[in-house]
């Protein structure tokens, strides 16, 4: 006997065993799992009454709200495909993604309606425009439709190879690509997350990570699988985050390194009393060991680094702790935690491949490209067979990340392949240099790129964001780097900026820095 592997199975189990347990907190709204799933069913029924059926696309442009969370159950349980769109994108991006995905229904939060309203006529395939909050002329109100709908809907048989979501990449240098994630992909990634990053009944999870971002790293389903509580945070505001950590007794959260830096650098008077013991999962870019060390030593939190991509549903490695790590000094332990780690039990096979296509030696020095194959790798890029073939045509998904493998099997990214700096024939990892710069007491953020050099071909240039009230000169930054790195790795020039250019998901846009179009420099 077989049943389809789908995260909808988590909903079935939790609904049966924990109907009265608190499921969602969103401002003043509190929902039990029984109430939450009743809302999901009503929206499923409403969508079917609109003519939405198996394979149809339903797109959402919204921050972390209860309505956005409901979409991860209400849409797929009628066999439709959810398209969670990055709400920080431009109106042009919205037009492209909605049209490319073929969405028939578009649900938009009040904050994003002003961006969508002027371009509605350029979305000819959208039959219904739904306002999740703040309905106005020409928009149907989500809560009104939900209240008018009964909970009965036709539940189709779900095949695990069916599309569950279409997740669009951030498209920093080209059009966003639609990553096709299946029910099986998401189910196995959620199970792997629960195995390695255990969550239990009674845990309370703070949504510091956008739900649209790779399906909230599958925590949209993982939290429910554990019958834990989703606590919504609509925007990353450190004061509000620390307030919720206290008042809602938060035990777990996920955050990209940019958010970790923000939390670690929040002044004590803004933080207030910080409860210890919060477990933080970080991914999205390589976190600096210095940031991990601050969160663990100063706040008493535990940080676990994972690695993956939207195309891998997303997690493929976890920097899992081992007994022998416990005796390390705090700085050494933080440096180890900053590695990408080892395969998840459920993620499949990962290798670091050299130019000859063979696996590089486990020496912590030989650089290759991370390649993976297994049950969490996407079905492909929607309507883009050429990009699919380039990424995974030989049966391995090529990540574009340059890494080494240490003797213990732990993988450590050195850079994006395109970001490795080659100076005088030597490879320089911008991530390594950034990690050192972030240990300078005045530095809040750092980005390093290669710039042309007449003698060496290229040398590192650092763009620095200083902490509030701090000061430093370029000469001081360079001297600090030379004290902690081989001299050829140290920046030869430094630019100070108020902010770094980033994608809508918080990744630093190094191609912008290479073009010299960084953020406004300090005077």
CATH code of residue 507: 3.30.300.30
| Residue at 13 is within a domain | no
**Which CATH number do you get for residue 234?**
3.40.50.12780
Residues 317 and 401 reside in one and the same domain: yes
Best CA proximity match to 285, nearest among 392, 431, 391, 163? 431
Classify burial at 165, counting beta carbons within 10 Å of its beta carbon; exposed 0-12, middle 13-18, buried 19 or more: buried
DSSP strand E in 409-456: where? 411-416, 421-423, 426-428, 443-453
| Residue at 163 is within a domain | no
| Residue at 259 is within a domain | yes
Residues 425 and 410 reside in one and the same domain: no
What is the residue whose two structure tokens read 């048989």? 157
Residues 445 and 459 reside in one and the same domain: yes
Residues 150 and 202 reside in one and the same domain: no
| Residue at 19 is within a domain | no
> So what's the pLDDT on residue 235?
92
The DSSP symbol for 167 reads E
The tens-digit pLDDT sequence of the chain (523 residues) is 889 999 999 999 999 999 999 999 999 999 999 999 999 999 999 999 999 999 999 999 999 999 999 999 999 999 999 999 999 888 999 999 999 999 999 999 999 999 999 999 999 999 999 999 988 899 999 999 999 999 999 999 999 999 999 999 875 456 889 999 999 999 999 999 999 999 999 999 999 999 999 999 999 999 999 999 999 999 989 999 999 999 999 999 999 888 888 899 899 999 999 999 999 999 877 667 888 888 999 999 999 999 999 999 999 999 998 999 888 888 888 888 889 999 999 999 999 999 899 999 999 999 999 999 999 999 999 999 999 999 999 999 999 999 999 999 999 988 888 777 878 767 788 888 988 999 999 999 999 998 888 777 788 999 999 999 999 999 999 999 999 887 888 999 999 999 998 876 677 888 788 876 333 333 3
Residues 406 and 438 reside in one and the same domain: no
User: How many angstroms separate the CA atoms of 353 and 366, rounded?
Assistant: 10
Q: Which residue among 393, 416, 439 closes a domain?
A: 416
Residues 208 and 149 reside in one and the same domain: no
Q: Which residue among 362, 395, 416 closes a domain?
A: 416
Residues 347 and 467 reside in one and the same domain: no
Sign of CA dihedral 52, 55, 56, 59: positive
Number of separate domains in the chain: 3
Residues 355 and 430 reside in one and the same domain: no
Exposed e or buried b for every residue in 245-262, given b needs 16+ CB within 10 A?
beebebbbbbbbbbbbbb
Best CA proximity match to 216, nearest among 371, 399, 68? 68
Residue 62 has phi, psi (to 5 degrees) of: -160, 150
With contact defined as beta carbons under 8 Å apart, do 107 and 58 qualify? yes
> So what's the pLDDT on residue 174?
65
Best CA proximity match to 308, nearest among 463, 425, 179, 431? 179
> So what's the pLDDT on residue 171?
53
> So what's the pLDDT on residue 504?
63
C-alpha 242 chain-centroid distance? 20
| Residue at 169 is within a domain | no
Residue 491 CB partners (closer than 8 Å, separation 6+):
433, 437, 448, 459, 460, 461, 462, 477, 478, 481
| Residue at 45 is within a domain | yes
Order the strands of the 349-353 sheet from edge to edge. Answer: 349-353, 368-373, 397-405, 411-416
Residues 410 and 447 reside in one and the same domain: no
Q: Which residue among 158, 181, 198 closes a domain?
A: 158
Residues 275 and 383 reside in one and the same domain: yes
**Which CATH number do you get for residue 94?**
3.40.50.980
Residues 395 and 430 reside in one and the same domain: no
pTM for the predicted model, two decimal places? 0.86
> So what's the pLDDT on residue 416?
81
Contacts of 134-142 spanning 24+ positions with Cβ under 8 A: 134/109, 134/110, 139/108, 139/113, 142/43, 142/67, 142/107
Kindly compute the dihedral angle of the four CA atoms of residues 418, 423, 426, 427, in this order, to the nearest 10 degrees: -20
| H or E element at residue 437 | helix 430-437
> So what's the pLDDT on residue 519?
39
Look up the domain containing 307 and give its range: 190-416
> So what's the pLDDT on residue 523?
30
Residues 316 and 246 reside in one and the same domain: yes
User: How many angstroms separate the CA atoms of 280 and 71, rounded?
Assistant: 25
| Residue at 113 is within a domain | yes
| Residue at 171 is within a domain | no
User: How many angstroms separate the CA atoms of 206 and 250, rounded?
Assistant: 6
User: How many angstroms separate the CA atoms of 452 and 454, rounded?
Assistant: 7
């Amino acid at each position: 006997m077989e049943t389809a592997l789908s995260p909808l199975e988590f909903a079935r189990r939790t609904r049966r065993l924990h109907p009265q347990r608190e499921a969602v907190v969103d401002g003043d709204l509190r929902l039990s799992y029984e109430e939450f799933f009743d809302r999901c069913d009503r929206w499923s029924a409403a969508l079917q009454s609109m003519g939405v059926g198996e394979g149809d696309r339903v797109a959402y442009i919204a921050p972390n709200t209860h309505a956005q969370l409901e979409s991860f159950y209400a849409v797929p349980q009628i066999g439709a495909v959810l398209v969670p769109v990055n709400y920080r994108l431009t109106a042009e991006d919205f037009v492209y993604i909605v049209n490319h995905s073929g969405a028939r229904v578009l649900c938009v939060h009040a904050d994003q309606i002003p961006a969508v309203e002027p371009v509605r006529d350029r979305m000819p395939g959208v039959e219904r425009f739904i306002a999740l909050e703040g309905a106005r002329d020409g928009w149907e109100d989500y809560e009104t439709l939900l209240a008018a709908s009964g909970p009965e809907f036709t539940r189709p048989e779900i095949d695990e190879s069916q599309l569950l979501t279409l997740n669009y990449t951030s498209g920093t240098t080209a059009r966003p690509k639609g990553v096709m994630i299946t029910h099986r992909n998401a189910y196995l990634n959620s199970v792997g997350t629960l195995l390695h990053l255990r969550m239990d009944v009674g845990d309370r999870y703070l949504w510091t990570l956008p739900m649209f971002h790779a399906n909230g790293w599958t925590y949209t389903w993982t939290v429910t699988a554990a019958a834990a509580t989703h606590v919504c945070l609509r925007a990353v505001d450190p004061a509000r985050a620390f307030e919720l950590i206290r008042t809602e007794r938060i035990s777990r959260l996920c955050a990209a390194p940019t958010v970790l830096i923000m939390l670690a650098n929040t002044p004590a008077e803004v933080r207030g009393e910080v409860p210890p013991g919060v477990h933080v999962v970080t991914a999205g870019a390589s976190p600096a060991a210095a940031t991990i060390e601050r969160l663990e030593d100063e706040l008493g939190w535990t940080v676990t680094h994972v690695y993956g991509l939207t195309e891998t549903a997303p997690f493929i490695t976890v920097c899992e702790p081992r007994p022998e790590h416990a005796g390390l000094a705090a700085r050494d332990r933080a440096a180890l935690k900053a590695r990408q780690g080892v395969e998840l039990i459920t993620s499949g096979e990962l290798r670091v491949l050299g130019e000859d296509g063979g696996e590089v030696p486990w020496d912590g020095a030989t650089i290759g490209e991370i390649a993976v194959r297994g049950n969490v790798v996407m079905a492909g890029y929607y309507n883009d067979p050429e990009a699919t073939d380039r990424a995974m045509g030989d049966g391995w998904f090529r990540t574009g990340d340059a890494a080494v493998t240490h003797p213990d099997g732990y993988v450590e990214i050195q850079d994006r392949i395109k970001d490795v700096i080659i100076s005088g024939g030597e490879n320089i990892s911008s991530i390594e240099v950034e990690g050192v710069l972030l240990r300078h007491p005045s530095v809040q953020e750092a980005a390093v790129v290669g710039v042309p050099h007449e003698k060496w071909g290229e040398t590192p240039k650092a763009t620095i964001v200083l902490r509030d009230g701090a000061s430093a000169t370029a000469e001081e930054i360079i001297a600090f780097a030379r004290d902690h790195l081989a001299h050829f790795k140290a920046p030869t020039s430094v630019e100070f900026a108020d902010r770094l250019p980033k994608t809508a998901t918080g990744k630093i846009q190094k191609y912008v820095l290479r073009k010299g179009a960084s953020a406004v420099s300090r005077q």
